[in-house]
């Protein structure tokens, strides 16, 4: 696959080394993707850094309360577009009853590792 073949079209920002797209199937309002224009570590690192900064900016401006950043690598991890990309998912208080465990919720019933643990 080449960058010109990525399926995303809804561009928010076209930067020097990457493009930010709206996710076609957002899990929350504002879910976006950082997609490197080239498949190399330098380009991917720029995406991760930009996603992190963008997320912190969201929190500072009050757009969301927190955020998740993630990547699916390989079919077994849920990757469906075989071009590297970083998900930035804004999180808001109350969007889940109990968000404890964060990204651990990708495996059903494994998210809340604190249930049943005596503190």
CA–CA separation, 39 vs 53, rounded Å?
21
Q: What is the residue-level pLDDT of the chain in tens, covering all 119 positions?
A: 899 999 999 999 999 999 999 999 999 999 999 999 999 999 999 999 999 999 999 999 999 999 999 999 999 998 999 999 999 999 999 988 888 888 877 766 666 666 655 44
pLDDT at residue 102, as a whole number: 81
CA–CA separation, 10 vs 79, rounded Å?
19
The sign one gets for the Cα dihedral 17, 102, 113, 80 is negative
Domain boundaries of the chain, sorted by first residue:
3-106
pLDDT at residue 119, as a whole number: 44
pLDDT at residue 101, as a whole number: 81
CA–CA separation, 82 vs 1, rounded Å?
7
Regarding the domain with residue range 3-106, which homologous superfamily does it belong to in the CATH classification?
HIT-like (3.30.428.10)
pLDDT at residue 112, as a whole number: 65
pLDDT at residue 50, as a whole number: 98
Q: Furthest-apart CA pair in the chain: how many Å? A: 52
pLDDT at residue 110, as a whole number: 64
């Amino acid at each position: 696959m080449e960058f010109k073949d990525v399926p995303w079209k809804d561009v928010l920002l076209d930067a020097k080394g990457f493009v930010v797209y709206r996710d076609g199937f957002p899990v929350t309002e504002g879910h976006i993707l950082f997609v490197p224009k080239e498949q190399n570590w330098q380009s991917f690192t720029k995406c991760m850094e930009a996603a992190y900064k963008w997320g912190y900016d969201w929190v500072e401006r009050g757009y969301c309360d927190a955020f998740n950043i993630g990547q699916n690598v390989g079919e077994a991890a849920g990757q469906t577009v075989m071009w590297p990309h970083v998900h930035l998912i804004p999180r808001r208080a109350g969007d889940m009853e109990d968000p404890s465990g964060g990204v651990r919720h990708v495996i059903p019933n494994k998210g809340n590792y604190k249930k049943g643990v005596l503190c």
